[in-house]
Chains A and B, each alone.
Chain A
Amino acid sequence: MIEAKGLSKSYGSVQALHELDLEVRAGGIYCLLGANGAGKTTTLNLFLGFIQPTSGMAAISGVVVRDDPVAARRQVAYIPETVMLYGMLSGVENLDYFAKLSGCRHDQRALRGFLQRAGLAPAAHDRPLKTYSKGMRQKVGVAIALARNARALLLDEPTSGLDPKASNEFSELIAGMARDGAAILMATHDLFRARETGTHIGIMRDGVLRAEFVASEIDHVSLENEYLKIMKED
């Protein structure tokens, strides 16, 4: 479970995040929408322990990140906007490298299995990563999450720059991970994908969570209208 209570972050006089309360249960996909500078990445960085909160609490599977960032990180997999990894290593070698860093040892068959589950065709497994498209690299990122058997997944605009087909494939992948019991928090600009993939949707502006919806209770048009209304507020 991913949980935030009164989570705030200030940089001097700038309030990057203000009193965020949020909860993503196992099997849930929470999509954070918002313009650039709304506080989405700050939120993810606070959950990852990359930055320290000014006040409030962020926790992963009950472990407060501030108290024990290493233990909290053990529960989580992270896929940034651009998964660069090591261009000269193949997909399977990159997966092996990061799995070993997490202390997970898998044989070649298992590693290839994770890549296949992540939607990467076997023909691509042994090619250098520098020859991969962005979508293929994101799939390696998902495979790393699968190899680590992470119970929580943090995604930072993972479908940005992907073509619709690749974006759809990626959404199906994370939906599958949620069905397997992972709690997923995803920052995105893509309203359509948030509505299609998410179980819950939050709209942020100026570091404040302005609105929350259950995805199944709102249609695409209404979501867009709500989003635009919040963005246009003075």
Chain B
Amino acid sequence: MIGAELSLLRREPHLKWGALALLMLVAIAAWNGRMLLESRTADATLALQESRDTIEALAKQAGNGNPTATSPGAAAFGAVSATIVRHIATGESLAIGQTDLEANFQTLTARNPYASFAASAPDNALRLAVGNFDVAFVLVWLVPLLVIAAFFDIVAGERERGVLALAVVAGAAASRYLWTKWLTRTLASIVVTWLAVALAIVVGEQTWTGDTAIALLAWGTVLSAYVFFWAALALACNVGRGNSERHAAVLAAAWLTLVILLPAAINLIVSNVFPAPSRVELAAQLREATESADRAAAKDRDRWFFDHPDLRSGEAERVAYYRSVAASERVITAAITPQLSAFETRAAERRELTRRLQWLSPAATTHDALTVLSHTDGASQAAFRDAALQFHARWQAFFFERIDGDRALTHEDYARLPKFESPSTSSLLALQRAATNVIVLFCIGVLLCLYCGVRLVRLDAILPQEEGG
């Protein structure tokens, strides 16, 4: 029976072409993701190399007593910068997630943190306008359509073709016959989905590690649960009254609702309950804080030189200038830290509400699991921003204590510059988080199957037939 059903499936042109189209789109999306990451990696590598080259050159010059290299102020506010790069996790090319909102590297100086972060604002306005065509998007949107195409007439169509009656007369219990058909089609859809994930990894991933196999297994499991949910929903729709056209319309409406409308509604609710902090407002606050700090610093500097007119030129003035800049940057940092903190708090609130509301839409649940597995979810981005802030504080402290103490930078100091560690992308933690989503999808699928089981047992007792002459 399973072999015969597979033979039937192979002959259905809309499924064959649908599966091929899905695989083709997945390959294009994976290639798109790979190209995006390659260009980002190349940009980051270039920036990182530039920073390292500068530091190396300055270290040599510091050994030779070059005043630009030995002056902590000159180095901190002009010559030296740190490029920090977010670690690209396995599978990131498959789920761009929110990475299109922020660059994957930042170049920091000892100035206030916002001065660095503002430079890493959306890196490609065009990409933001059209969104990223990634594998997660293709699979979350299109896999349900393939499942619907395979299942929309699984009961009604058999009845309409007169096949169910013939099958029952041939000795098969209607429920067993339909369950076998359903199971075969579900397994076939899952196999197509795994093939799609494998293809995406082959096309999208630049390097293969142990994590690649874990990514394949994890993505395959999440999408299998998604397929299972849609297959169960299609069967639940089919065991009700109505013909196959009606079931196709109901399932298309379900797709529209669960895949498009509900995620859009979730976005709308989150945006209204927790409006995103305005970057323009943040920039205005920063400008205000900067101007106020600059004014205060200038006032202090003028007073200092008023008290020490004999130090008004040469090295002493330069030291005083850098101290005042450092003081000014401290004030600005202190002034904008609450704003940046509010920004992060709001982002965390939005993530939490989104995570709660995502259970309304299996598509949102699946997409969340896929971005979590690829470390491109909002939390991973926040972890990078947090690590960047902490690193910035260490970087600033490194230079400021030398500026304040008027300690010249040495060759060895350059070797002691703080090093950035990208936040860990633990596969285990991601798997734990994604597992909840898989379990929820699976449980809903099981509940739908139980409902179908009850309806199909009734079909065994009396096979509905149209009453004729």
Which residues in A have some Cβ–Cβ distance to B below 8 Å?
Answer: 11, 16, 34-42, 45, 48-52, 70, 73-74, 76-78, 80-86, 88-89, 93, 96-98, 100-103, 141, 144, 148, 156-157, 187
> Does B166 make an interface contact (CB < 8 A)?
yes
Inside 8 A of B165's CB, which chain A residues have their CB?
A: 48, 50, 78, 80
- In this complex, the member of B1, B13, B463, B469 whose beta carbon has the largest number of chain A beta carbons within 10 angstroms is B469
- Interface contact B1-A89, CB-CB below 8 Å: no
Contacts of B416 in A (CB 8 A): none
Nearest Cβ in chain B — how far from A158, in angstroms? 12
Given contacts A34-B469, A144-B170, 5 further A-B contacts (CB under 8 A): A16-B467, A50-B463, A101-B170, A101-B171, A156-B468
Q: Which 5 A-B pairs have the closest CB atoms?
A: A41-B468, A88-B11, A84-B161, A101-B170, A102-B170
Contact with A along B435-451 (1 / 0, CB 8 A): 00000000000000000
Asked if A101 contacts B177 (CB within 8 A), the reply is yes
Q: By the criterion CB–CB under 8 Å, are B171 and A187 in contact?
A: no
Q: Which of B1, B12, B462, B469 is A41 in contact with, Cβ under 8 Å?
A: B469
Total A-B residue pairs with C-beta atoms closer than 8 Å? 96
Whether a CB of chain A sits under 8 angstroms from the CB of B4 is yes
Task: Pick the contact of A102: B161, B171, B467 (CB < 8 A).
Answer: B171
A80 with B167, Cβ < 8 A, contacts A16-B467, A36-B469, A38-B469 known: no
Q: Which residues on the A side are within 8 Å of B467 (C-beta)?
A: 11, 16, 41-42
Count of interface residues, chain B, beta-carbon cutoff 8 Å: 28
Candidates B4, B12, B177, B469; contact of A88 at CB < 8 Å: B12
Cross-chain contact of A103 among B162, B171, B463, B468 (Cβ < 8 A): B171
Residues of B within 8 A of A37 (CB): 469
**Docked complex Cα distance between A35 and B169 (Å):** 26
Q: How far is the CB of B197 from chain A (nearest CB, A)?
A: 28
State the Cβ distance, A161 to closest chain B Cβ, in Å.
14
Chain A residues with CB under 8 A of B173: 70
B457 close to chain A: CB less than 8 A = no
Establish whether residues A86 and B177, one from each chain, have CB atoms under 8 Å apart when the complex forms.
no
A34-B469, A40-B468, A51-B462 known; A144+B166 contact, CB < 8 A? yes
Q: Given A84-B163, A101-B1, is A73 in contact with B168 using a C-beta cutoff of 8 Å?
A: yes
Q: Which residues of B contact A82 (CB under 8 A)?
A: 162
**Residue B465, interface by CB 8 Å:** yes
Is B209 positioned at the interface, with any CB of A under 8 Å from its CB? no
Residues of A within 8 A of B168 (CB): 48, 50, 73
CA distance A88 to B462 in the complex (A): 29
How many angstroms between the C-alpha atoms of A70 and B172 in the bound complex?
Answer: 8
A-B contact pairs, 14 of them (CB 8 A): A35-B469, A50-B463, A73-B171, A76-B169, A78-B166, A82-B162, A84-B162, A84-B163, A86-B11, A97-B8, A98-B167, A100-B1, A101-B171, A141-B166
